[in-house]
Structure 1
Amino acid sequence: MPTLPTIDQAAFQNSFVEEMRGDDSLHNVPRQVPGYHYSRVRPTPVAAPRLLAWADELADFLGLRKPAERGPAVEALAGNRVTDTMKPFAARYGGHQFGSWAGQLGDGRAISLGEIVASDGRPWEIQLKGAGPTPYSRRADGRAVLRSSVREFLCSEAMHYLGVPTTRALSLVSTGDAVVRDMFYNGNPQAEPGAIVARVAPTFVRFGNFQLLAASGELDNLRALADYVIRRYYPELGAPTEPTVYVRWFEEICRRTAVMIAHWMSVGFVHGVMNTDNMSILGLTIDYGPYGWLEPYDPDWTPNTTDFGTRRYAYGQQPNVGLWNLWQLARALAHLVPNPELLRPALDLYSATFAATRHEMLLGKLGLTDQADAADQALFEDLNEALAAAEADLTLFFRRLSHAAPAVLATPEAEAATWQELLAAACYTDQPEAQQKLRQWLPRYLRRLRQETAAPAAIRAQMLAANPKYVLRNYLAQQAIEAAEAGDLSVLNRLMQVLKTPFAEQPEHDELAAKRPEWAREKPGCATLSCSS
């Protein structure tokens, strides 16, 4: 078998650069770039790139060999080396940020190198995040710090192994340069180690790419971009020779977005900054910034300090924000159809798909089959209120329930003790009044579970397959960051290995499935984050 190439030896394709309209000036000064889909740029070299982490399975999928810690391949992963087949570019887009139109945004610190044909026969785009300024950097430096880069690398891969639609991360490279960031925008800037993540997706086109073209009246560019995306990423729809193709395309975007957000809700993921420029046109989770994982169940929780005033992007608001963002995309795509009303049914499809997917996933988490009666719906709705009142850890509750409920089915006399053990393990409060609703809910759920015809062992298997034991808890990510900043990569590497099989028991790693410790309740990076990187 021939040796796989390293990334500096790989043959890149460049469909976006070759098929879309580009600004070729290579003038990396922040500016407005009207009339184009992208700008050609060159990454800005860094002092001393070193490979810190590598996603082996993704690399195998891409047909790439892991490089040495330093050398030509890592130079390419840091932006220091641009090979003959790479045509680096930064995409131009706009977007609504926290509900307000922000105008031109674009890839301010992300530079795409081009595409590599993977083992599935499709081209996958490789993008460097933190590789230096572009025309879209505004007042920023185009860099990223180790703190945010570790979080992006870990979460991209963790979400993939959870089964959540997501972009991926190939590598994490330290730069040897210091980057100054004011983490909470409170007048306390600090020099932090710099890093670059190589992100991977079929495409990084977002809702905002279409929004900016529509807002700027660039309707030819709008149609060209839509046709490019349909041709390459939605080929099953056929060539966009008539408006109905754009309608069906928008329906599929709505469907995929609904499925993605249902997955977020199922595992307790909070994106933190669901601006329209952070919404993938493929329905993939994109831009891992101030995200967080729900620990005490709280629908109003957001990890993003910038969002504390309105909690627009809180956990419980994510389905509604997804719909709002799709409305904004529909306003842009309305220029491609004879009547904007043709797009409205797709928004209803989003709502129906989200509800159906969320319902199906919840049934799996609870070990139930679909009977869709009013009692079931009341049971599900009451669970949300009970979890919130008891400050139940979402991941721990469902994982413990996966073992506890089938056990009670098999040995009914142990019910009281089993529920008591479950609550003690999964709740952040031990106050009886706070736990009362959950204590009342559990026997109701058990009565419903007894209606199932499957054996307890089969119910347990269904629940364990739907309820992960391990997720990227906020404090675990922070521990990996602090260790990496001190030169210890063992914490990051161990965590990454565990997160590759999140549904497996892995008893030797039980401490990585524990409740958030008290010291992490208010610790920056564990409880609160910002858009700063």
Structure 2
Amino acid sequence: MKINLKHTFIEELPADSNTQNTRRQVKEACFSYVQPKPTKDPKLIHVSDKMASALGFSEADIKSQLFLDVFTGNKVFPNTKPYAMCYGGHQFGHWAGQLGDGRAINLFDIENKTQQWTLQLKGAGETPYSRQGDGLAVLRSSIREYLCSEAMYHLGVPTSRALSLALTGDEVLRDMLYDGNAAYEKGAIVTRVAPSFLRFGSYEIFAARQDFKTLKILVDYTIRHHYSHLGKPSKTTYTQFFEEVVQRTLEMIIHWQRVGFVHGVMNTDNMSILGLTIDYGPYGWLEGFDFGWTPNTTDLQNKRYRFGNQPNMVLWNLYQLANALYPLVESAEPFENSLETFKSDFERRSLEMMKSKIGLNMYDAKDELLIKSLEDCLLLSETDMTIFFRQLGNFKKGSASKGLDFVKDAFYSPQEISDSIAQQWRDWFERYDFRLEKETISDKERRLGMNAVNPKYVLRNYMAQMAIDEADKGNYKLIDELYQILKKPYAEQKNHEKWYAKRPDWARHKVGCSMLSCSS
């Protein structure tokens, strides 16, 4: 394999002086050197052709023994030094202290076509940051991360990527339901890819320890390699850096809300400094439109990370990052200004996004009320978010009286649409139809525009579970089928209509199809 290796992270940042792979507090260091754990009987299940191409891997590379060995932890690529990153974080609103890469090991960086990428194994063994964990990953969670990160990329959502999914041949003990009934599951490794896996917690840990020297080194490194257009590091540059992180994070959350993605565990250690979706744990896709839904059993009582609260949690996390960066600037005003801008920009961007979802381009002062009344209607009964907005694109001007006919397939229980609910919907379609008269584009043009922002195919929770169930039997065909479908989420794909359907009844309460824990 001929790859253009880069070692900027380990060459320019302070390393842990202790080279023993023992659980400990790591001070004044951004990372610790660590070796992946060799696996018993590795087998590649799937490789993302798109990601492999972006990294410069050929077909021959992918089929080579070296590729298998490196991306299953059995061999360290020549002239590289794997490492685990040190970071802290706020978890569910509380400072958790040092966290770090407990089951992720960074292999090396590749530069290809002017883009630099970090390649990381998830599930490759213990690190100094593993705490009570074994550093391993199981097949079910690995399939979910592999498929979802690539699906999100093709949806146009800022995200980390995935290169490969592999079985290790090892058995991993997990208590999936946290009921004391632990069982062995198939071990697996995902190769994750991103320009950087630095997260808010990477900076918080040094601020919390008042290690401002290392904090400055890390911030300067981040600006130099990921925000170089801002110029040389200075107090002004630090505030500009924060402002851009705010805007990138805003862009990410708008996309989450657009496609109905719920991250499930938006702790500050899971927030990318590049505004990418990272750490696919107990995520889920809205099926029934519900602002209060969370896919995380750990969050079930307080629902801190529910769908409707994600924008607030992003802002809360940005406040924590601002607090971490404050010592470098010693002035709160520029951070406060950026955070206030987030609030106003989110309201504006969110309205623009929702207008695009229902095909409105022209300005109308009442559009916000129209969208609010639509959301009220969507909450009257269980209504599939993806299908509703996709079907709404078929609406034709002058068809208000038949509005429900266009979206009826989105209702999970059509029998629950009482006369009063149906009337509320009819009232909304009358207002919608009246509003569309202001638009100058044709029904066809509007539908094309709506179909470009309202996906037809997303990785529904039950779809991922079906792929997991099949993989447990040794059948990996469904993983590839879903991977191929999700590469074109906005296309009609007539041969795959069966996946354009509401969640089946069997998946409503099945573990994995509805909710997962943080460590699944």
SS class of match (1:123): strand
Cα distance 1:436–1:153, how it changes in 2: closer, same or farther (>3 A)?
A: farther
**1:156 paired to 2:143:** no
Match among 365, 370, 386 for residue 379 of structure 1: 370
SS class of match (1:23): coil
Partner of 1:424: 408
Contact 1:364 1:462 in 2 (8 A): yes
Partner of 2:36: 43
Match among 333, 336, 340 for residue 332 of structure 2: 340
Contact 2:245 2:274 in 1 (8 A): yes
- Measure, in 2, the Cα distance between the counterparts of 1:142 and 1:500: 30
- Measure, in 2, the Cα distance between the counterparts of 1:190 and 1:269: 30
Partner of 2:50: 57
SS class of match (1:389): coil
Deviation at 1:447, TM superposition (A): 1.1
**1:173 paired to 2:197:** no
Partner of 1:283: 275
Alignment gaps of 5+ in structure 2: none
Aligned residues: 516
- Per-residue CA deviations over 1:22-48 (Å, capped at 9, x if unaligned) read 014331111111111110111111101
TM-score by length of 2: 0.97
Partner of 1:83: 77
Deviation at 1:57, TM superposition (A): 1.1
- Structure 2 counterpart of 1:432, which letter? I
Cα distance 1:393–1:19, how it changes in 2: closer, same or farther (>3 A)?
A: same
- Structure 1 counterpart of 2:272, which letter? S
Residue correspondence of structure 1 range 77-116 to structure 2 within 5 A: 77-116=71-110
Identity %: 49
- Measure, in 2, the Cα distance between the counterparts of 1:422 and 1:457: 15
Deviation at 1:114, TM superposition (A): 1.3
SS class of match (1:64): coil
- Structure 2 counterpart of 1:381, which letter? K
- Measure, in 2, the Cα distance between the counterparts of 1:439 and 1:221: 61
TM-score by length of 1: 0.95
Cα distance 1:385–1:420, how it changes in 2: closer, same or farther (>3 A)?
A: closer
Match among 244, 247, 256 for residue 252 of structure 1: 244
SS class of match (1:470): coil
Deviation at 1:424, TM superposition (A): 2.4
Deviation at 1:366, TM superposition (A): 1.1
- Measure, in 1, the Cα distance between the counterparts of 2:84 and 2:196: 12
Deviation at 1:69, TM superposition (A): 6.0
Partner of 2:296: 304
- Measure, in 2, the Cα distance between the counterparts of 1:57 and 1:115: 18
Residue correspondence of structure 1 range 397-476 to structure 2 within 5 A: 397-403=388-394, 405=395, 408-409=396-397, 412=398, 415-417=400-402, 419-430=403-414, 431-433=416-418, 434-476=421-463
Partner of 2:359: 367
Deviation at 1:65, TM superposition (A): 2.2
Deviation at 1:98, TM superposition (A): 0.6
- Measure, in 2, the Cα distance between the counterparts of 1:254 and 1:463: 27
- Measure, in 2, the Cα distance between the counterparts of 1:467 and 1:459: 12
- Per-residue CA deviations over 1:377-425 (Å, capped at 9, x if unaligned) read 100111111111132111000000012x1xx22xx3x5534x2333420
Deviation at 1:304, TM superposition (A): 0.4
- Structure 2 counterpart of 1:211, which letter? E
- Structure 2 counterpart of 1:396, which letter? I
- Measure, in 2, the Cα distance between the counterparts of 1:313 and 1:279: 13
**1:391 paired to 2:378:** no
**1:232 paired to 2:216:** no
**1:516 paired to 2:496:** no
Match among 514, 517, 520 for residue 530 of structure 1: 517
Q: RMSD across aligned C-alpha pairs, in angstroms?
A: 1.3
Match among 66, 86, 90 for residue 72 of structure 1: 66
- Structure 1 counterpart of 2:458, which letter? V
- Measure, in 1, the Cα distance between the counterparts of 2:515 and 2:206: 35
- Measure, in 2, the Cα distance between the counterparts of 1:504 and 1:399: 11
- Measure, in 2, the Cα distance between the counterparts of 1:157 and 1:372: 37
Contact 1:301 1:315 in 2 (8 A): yes
- Measure, in 2, the Cα distance between the counterparts of 1:305 and 1:141: 22
- Per-residue CA deviations over 1:130-187 (Å, capped at 9, x if unaligned) read 0000000001000000000000000000000000000000100110001111112221
- Measure, in 2, the Cα distance between the counterparts of 1:507 and 1:256: 35
Cα distance 1:179–1:435, how it changes in 2: closer, same or farther (>3 A)?
A: farther
- Measure, in 2, the Cα distance between the counterparts of 1:250 and 1:427: 43
Match among 185, 192, 214 for residue 185 of structure 2: 192
- Structure 1 counterpart of 2:513, which letter? C
SS class of match (2:509): coil
SS class of match (2:197): coil
Deviation at 1:524, TM superposition (A): 0.5
- Measure, in 1, the Cα distance between the counterparts of 2:90 and 2:519: 18
Match among 471, 476, 489 for residue 489 of structure 1: 476
- Measure, in 2, the Cα distance between the counterparts of 1:82 and 1:435: 62
SS class of match (1:177): strand
- Measure, in 1, the Cα distance between the counterparts of 2:100 and 2:128: 8
Contact 1:390 1:435 in 2 (8 A): no
